[in-house]
Amino acid sequence: MKLSRLFMILSLAFVVVAAGCSNNEESSEKSDAENKKAEAPSNEEGLTIAVESNFTSMDPHDTNDNQSYSAQSAIYEGLLGFDEDLNIVPVLAEEYEANEDSTVFTFTLKEGITFHDGTPFNAEAVKANIDRLADPESQLRRSSLFELVEKTEVTGEYEVEVTLKEPFGAMPNNFAHPAAAMISPKAIESSDEIARNPVGTGPFQFTEWKSGDHLTVEKYEGYREEGVPKVDRVEFKPVPESGSRVAMLQTGEADFVFPVAPNQVETLKDEAGVSVVNKPSLVVKYFSMNTMKEPFNDPKVRKALNYAIDKEAYVNVIYDGYASVTKSEIAPDTQHYAEQEIYKYDPEKAKELLTEAGYPDGFETTIWGGTSSLKQKMMQFYKQQLSQVGITLNVVPMEGGTLGDKIWGVDNPDNAELELYNGGWSPSTADADWGLRPLFSSKSFPPEAYNTAYYENEKVDELLQKGLSTADDKKRGEYYAEAQQIIWDDAPWVFLAVPDLIYAEQEYVDGLTMLPSGVMDLKQAEIVSE
Amino acid sequence: MLKYSIKRILGMIPLLFVISVIAFLFVHLIPGDPARLIAGTDATIEEIKNIREKYGLDEPLYQQYVDYMANLFQGDLGTSIVSARPVMDMLAERFVPTLSLTFASMFWALLFGLLIGVISAVKRNKWQDHLTMFLAVSGVSIPSFWLGLMLIQLFSVQLGWFPTGGIGGIESYILPSLTLGAGVAAIIARFTRSSLMDVLKEDYIRTGRAKGLAEFKVINRHALRNAMIPVVTMSGLQFGFLLSGSIITETIFSWPGLGRLLINSITARDYPVIQAEILLFSLEFLLINLLVDLLYGFLNPKIRYEEGS
């Protein structure tokens, strides 16, 4: 009796749902017939941006992922910033200068700017921010960017002087880093968490954040530049599945999608009204060889491996062509990049070098790397390539935490089991120092930093140190160029590729730019209706 | 029955305590340093040390355990290492989307599962049986990531009927709940079929038919009710699984639920969040089991809960 009633209720509900669906059907068929392209939203509706993962925090000083920086860059600004080509440009600062040995930085600030909560932006506000970042007690994730700061002094209402404990030539890059954004001093003092209640000076102010669902910002009416921002509202949606992101673009639910998986570019290129953009990122893909271990302590072996891998094929197989073969240890958009000569694919030469090094029949070795399908594909590719020159490669994919323990849990380099490591690096400050020092300085062995090749070269150490000790860009360029060349010749890595950033947008979206670092700039974003 | 329920609920407390100990140990046994994972790919060792200090990860394990239990007894589930927010807030935020999706999925699952199960049992070995069982086997074997993406392609991209993902009005529930409910419907259908077939062989069914009852009445009034006990048990279990959030379905449909929170916190080794989720899921299962046991009494009044029965 009761069951038949249950059935009746269920069937009734089904009919209701079905009816609801058929209503939807009619209305959407109409819009389907009208145009295949997605309709442009109005400025009031604003833009919808689909991104890969959840935002972690809206406190820039305590953030270390590019995706959170993207949303933050709509809300906050720093004293300095990066333009689209990663040149350093003044933002909240009118101008800045450094002394000869790059220990004192003086900023003159723009006047008449207010934070979203009405607090004026002035030298006191800057001091509050830099003090917060430089205070080791605050335990912020990005405090290391300012750990060298000795003191920050207010020298006028719109003038600040920052003194460092020791020379640091790349300091302007740290000031331009998205983590060095200026937060309203009132918000810093208040008990509300900045992470969930961001207040900055940027073109948009924070509206709402529902974790895992959306984060919304709206136009800041008091923004200092006339006519900016050009849309009233931007909504970010975390959409972890790449196929779903692409579908959102196809249905018009999203106006801008990042990232797009290389194998989905073709699908989107056929889509009316959608454009796909790719440009080089700051990421360099490599696999490192433990130079303290046989046989990789012999540079000939390391070079042989470089010759044994067809980098062009790598780009096509792994990235469907959306990458370029790397010509240095750092990507072209990184400051002080110096191009080197590629180890051209030459298996014969690789075999010769192996014979010279005493391995005419090759050897067996093991590579460690992540478990994502892309990373496993990479390692299988190396395996196939190296087998052509007689090297047997064992591929050991490991889940991220385990891999981290195996590599960075080792305190004494002599105990390292690591032979080869499939890695990638992107310097968040876009400077050669952070692109080289953590990876090639002898002070950067795990667990300290990321020199997984255990590479040690006195000359390189010296050059990296010199580069830090001056603010003179010309001299720094020379030091880093020489360092890049020495490392390239020593070949502690197999140098592979610089993958592209790929994003897709509706054709009516204009002015939304993506920095090579993977951080979006929404300031000039607009909806262009025909 | 009330007495029985209260006793069962009180009995859960020591059980949850044991679970919390196991959860703590298991979570800390997984290799991987949360501070390193959370600090990001280009963090300096100072940043990593900062995080370790801030969240007490540098303290000895027993100390961490004492802190965790002390907080737990005060009803404090701790603070997430990734988002620095109270774990309780995060769970609360994610629970409702998962709960509502679970109800929607169970709706489809029961509707189709029972319908298909009954049809195939009654029409045993006829074409209706073969067709419906083919559907049921497909339901179990089609991976949800494939089904989900296909549904998006067909109903969102091609036809434009439903949104591709995210939580919103009722239309946003249709595709994820169908994806999630398909597998459960198939399981329920198979249980209903076999259980009903067993019951249909019973003497009292033959008696019912012999005294001239309409076939519909025989099945609906006499057979189905008795066949429901294993089906209810299975549905309860499935309900529990769905309540833990589906990692795949929630990922494909960008659903802000517990499954996505769990997978994110596992990858980041966000200990407090993983521990709290394990506790929550255990509690859910305990409560559902109780509910299922109570339902037995409705289905078969011969089942009694008082002691000595």
DSSP characters for A417-443?
A: ---EEEEEE--TT-SHHHHHHHHHSGG
The whole-angstrom distance between B83's CA and the closest CA on chain A is: 5
| Cα–Cα distance, B235 to B241 (Å, whole number) | 10
Q: Percent of chain B scored above 90 by pLDDT?
A: 8
SS (H, E, C) A195-260: CCCCCCCCCEEEEEEECCCEEEEEECCCCCCCCCCCCCEEEEEECCCHHHHHHHHHHCCCCEECCC
Report the pLDDT averaged over residues B27-42: 78
Residues from chain A that touch B255, judged by Cβ atoms under 8 A, are 212
Do the Cβ atoms of A21 and B111 come within 8 Å?
Answer: no
CB spacing of A56 vs B83 below 8 angstroms: yes
Phi, psi of A65 (to 5 degrees): -120, 140
Quote the pLDDT of residue A25: 38
Q: Which of A453-467, B207-221, B238-252 has the lowest mean pLDDT?
A: B207-221
Residues A267 and A260: beta-carbon distance below 8 Å: no
Question: pTM of the entire structure?
Answer: 0.83
Say how far apart CA A194 and CA A59 lie, in whole Å. 5
Helix (H) or strand (E) holding A134: helix A123-134
Record: contact A399-B32, CB cut-off 8 A: yes
Instruction: Give the model's pLDDT for residue A340.
Output: 95
Task: State whether A212 and B256 contact (CB < 8 Å).
Answer: yes
Contact A168, A102 (CB under 8 A): yes
Per-residue model confidence (pLDDT) at position A21:
41
Minimal Cβ distance to A210: which of B114, B256, B257: B256
pLDDT (0 to 100) of residue A451: 92
pLDDT surpasses 90 at B132: no
Selection from A183, A239, A208, A249 nearest residue A67 by Cα: A239
A244 compared with B215, residue with greater pLDDT: A244
Q: Which pLDDT score, from 0 to 100, does residue A316 have? A: 94
Q: Are A134 and A143 in contact (CB under 8 A)?
A: yes
Neighboring chain A residues of B225 at a CB cutoff of 8 Å: 2-3
Nearest residue of chain A to residue B162 (CA atoms): A24
Chain B nearest CA to A526, separation (Å):
24
* Type and span of the H or E element at A357: none
- What are the beta bridge partners of residue A434? none
Instruction: Output the pLDDT for position B199.
Output: 82
Residue in chain B lying closest to A19 (CA):
B171
Tell me the sheet residues that pair with A47. Answer: A234
Question: How deeply is B76 buried, as exposed, middle or buried, from its count of CB atoms within 10 A (0-12, 13-18, 19+)?
Answer: middle
B287 Cα to chain A: minimum distance (Å): 23
**Nearest by CB: A24 against B114, B171, B253:** B171
Which residues in chain A touch residue B157, judged by CB atoms under 8 angstroms apart? Answer: 247, 250-251
The predicted structure's pLDDT at residue A18: 43
- Nearest chain A Cα distance for residue B51, angstroms: 7
Residue B44: what pLDDT? Answer: 76
Q: What is d(CA A340, CA B125) in angstroms, rounded to the nearest whole number?
A: 73
Helix (H, G, I), strand (E, B) or coil at A178: helix
Contacts of A64 in chain B (CB under 8 A): 39-40, 42-43, 47
Tallying the residues shown for chain A, one arrives at: 530
Q: Mutate one of A49, A59, A244, A398 to test the B interface: name it (highest B CB count within 10 A).
A: A244
In angstroms, the separation between the Cα of residue B258 and the nearest Cα of chain A is 10
Tens digit of each residue's pLDDT (9 = 90 or more) over B66-106: 888 888 888 888 888 888 888 998 999 899 999 999 999 99
Provide the pLDDT for residue B54.
80
Closest CA to A98 of A79, A111, A121: A79
Interchain pair B83, A195: CB under 8 A: yes
Is the pLDDT at B220 greater than 80? The verdict is no
Helix (H, G, I), strand (E, B) or coil at A93: strand
Q: In whole numbers, what is the pLDDT of chain B averaged over residues? A: 84
Give me the average pLDDT of each 10-residue run along chain A (530 residues).
Answer: 47 43 39 59 90 88 86 94 88 91 91 94 95 84 85 94 90 91 93 87 94 92 90 93 89 92 87 91 94 93 95 94 95 93 94 94 92 88 94 89 83 90 89 91 87 94 89 89 96 96 94 90 87
Tell which of A17, A51, A210, A284 to mutate to test the B interface (max B CBs under 10 Å): A17
* Among B103, B247, B122, CA closest to B177: B103
* Chain B environment of A214 (Cβ under 8 Å): 166
The verdict on a CB contact (< 8 Å) between A144 and B44 is yes
pLDDT exceeds cutoff 70 at B166: yes
Pair A152, A86: CB distance under 8 Å: no
Q: Find the closest chain A residue to B54 by CA distance.
A: A139
Length of chain B: 309
Q: Report the complex ipTM.
A: 0.78
Q: How many CB atoms lie within 10 A of CB A319?
A: 22
Which among A32, A54, A139 has the least Cβ separation from residue B264? Answer: A54
CA gap B50, B78 in Å, rounded: 18
8 Å CB contact of A139 and B50: yes
Higher-confidence position of B224 and A524:
A524
Distance from CA of A380 to the nearest CA of B (A): 23
Q: How far apart are CA B254 and CA A212, in angstroms?
A: 8
Query: Which of B73, B69, B121 has its CA nearest to residue B272?
Result: B69
Residue whose token pair is 């009803």: B75
pLDDT at site A127: 95
The number of C-beta contacts closer than 8 angstroms across A and B is: 173
